[in-house]
Amino acid sequence: MGPFDPALHVRSRDHYEAVRREAQLIALQPDAPLLRLVELIERLRAQFPRSPVDEVAERAFVAGQPTFTVRYAIADELVPAALEACDQAESLIDEVDRWARGGNLDLLEAPEDVRRYRIEYLAQARAQLRRARR
């Protein structure tokens, strides 16, 4: 995966961690997008091996490197589930962004560069997973 800007990865990661914390602090209805995003993240963390992306990006950020790349391998039998997870994550994150923009709850809205990064990151992940599926 990559090359990506490590500072942008760190901002993106921190943004969605803050959104997750907001969801935990606000008493929301059970079908709210933020709570569903938290549930999806927890399910994906249990289903897939730990990704080295955050660690690699963090090291590059601290070292002042302009980009980072990372290799991440998953078992062949997890490829279809990983593709589905990309679709679910993108759809739900888009819903969270729309919800944050349109709601009256004053939630953190993803900055434009964070949204672009997420789109590019997921597009690369999908492309590599599709190649692996062949």
- Angle, helices 79-102 vs 112-133, to 10°: value is 160
pLDDT at 103: 64
Residue 106: band (very low, low, confident or very high) from pLDDT cuts 50, 70, 90 = low
Alpha-carbon span 79 to 73, nearest angstrom: 10
- In the structure encoding, which two tokens stand for residue 22, read together? 């907001």
The reported pLDDT for the residue numbered 83 is: 95
User: Residue 76: is its pLDDT beyond 90?
Assistant: yes
The pLDDT tens digits of the residues spanning 12-68 come to 888 888 877 776 666 556 666 777 777 888 899 999 999 899 999 999 999 999 999
Find, among 82, 72, 12, the residue nearest to 44 by Cα.
82
Cβ count within 10 A of residue 90 = 17
